[in-house]
Amino acid sequence: MIAYWGQVDTARFTTRDLTSLVEEWAAKGGVASAVDYQTFRQSWEPIQSYLLSKAHIDSVEEIRNSYYQAFATTVQDEIRKKLIRDRTMVTTLDNRFKLPTFQILKAAVDGVMKEQTALTFEESRTAKPVVVSAFQEGNSVMKKMGEDRRPREAPIASKPVPNMDELSRMLEAFEHKICQITDSEATRFLSSLACVVSAQNPVVLPDVAQSNPEP
């Protein structure tokens, strides 16, 4: 049988394997992220290389549409936008878009995936809450406890300055008291009182000699 039909078919891959791979990803919604793209490439690229090396296909242009259809609809939209921005999208004579060469298409896909990765990283960085370490939290608690236990200084109450009414009452009490003290005691008391009233308006004190005449 082998001599009649030739060598046994030992092909590792065929174009049907590429078709099955695309259908498998389409059933899952298509390649939609950078992680999906890396997984997809691990299966696609060995098949592509084998088909080219074994002349199953003449060029990668034959599998260009299958490659594009493996991506999710949203990613296909981003690929088209990038091709248009880069002015690499092919336009037909009736103003319809057509995919460029496989090399240009793959470069556009790589660019879209890089942009998606950068955007995902930026969003995750801004959304990540600030984590306070257990050491920092414990240090803050100990610091607060130390401040709470520290004795607080009692506020010093300021002594009010006597007003004129109070001074008048003091003078009346002085006049009553001066009749009962000697001249030397009165002099010492007047000196002390002068220090108290120095900040107030001048007050005319009564004559001690008149208030307490000598016998």
Both structure tokens of 26? 């389409």
The continuous run of DSSP H or E covering 98 comes out as strand 97-98
**Cβ neighbours of 26 (radius 10 Å):** 14
Q: What is the length of the chain?
A: 215
Q: What confidence score (pLDDT) does residue 215 get?
A: 44
Q: Between vectors from CA 137 to CA 123 and to CA 131, what angle results, nearest 5°?
A: 10
Say what the pLDDT of residue 69 is. 96
- Hey, what are 71's tokens? 């991506």
What is the enclosing helix (H) or strand (E) of 174? helix 164-178
**199 assigned to some structural domain:** no
Residue 140 is predicted with a pLDDT of 74
Q: In angstroms, rounded to a whole number, what is the distance separating the alpha carbons of residues 153 and 167?
A: 33
Token reading at 154? 């009692």
In the chain, the number of structural domains is 1
118 found inside a domain: yes
Whether 182 maps to a domain, the answer reads: no
Using CA atoms, how far apart are residues 21 and 70, in angstroms rounded to an integer?
8
pLDDT at 133: 60
Residue 104 belongs to domain spanning: 15-123
Q: 107: part of which helix (H) or strand (E)?
A: helix 102-127
pLDDT of residue 211: 47
Q: What is the pTM of this model?
A: 0.54
Q: What is the pLDDT of residues 157-173, one digit of tens each?
A: 566 666 677 767 777 77
pLDDT in the model for residue 135: 58
In tens, the pLDDT along 5-33 reads 556 567 899 999 999 999 999 999 999 99
Q: Is residue 180 part of a domain?
A: no
Reading the block at residue 50, the tokens are 């084998």
Residue 39, in any domain of the structure: yes
Residues of the chain with pLDDT under 70: 1-9, 120-135, 137-139, 141-142, 145-146, 148-163, 167, 174-175, 177-187, 189-215
Instruction: Flag whether 209 is in a domain.
Output: no
Residue 185 located in a structural domain: no
Q: pLDDT value at position 178?
A: 62
Q: Please tell me the predicted confidence (pLDDT) of residue 213.
A: 47
Q: Is residue 32 part of a domain?
A: yes
Q: Determine the number of helices (DSSP H) and then strands (DSSP E) in the chain.
A: 10, 2
The C-alpha R_g of the chain, in whole angstroms, comes to 51
Predicted confidence (pLDDT) per residue in 58-67, tens digit: 999 999 999 9
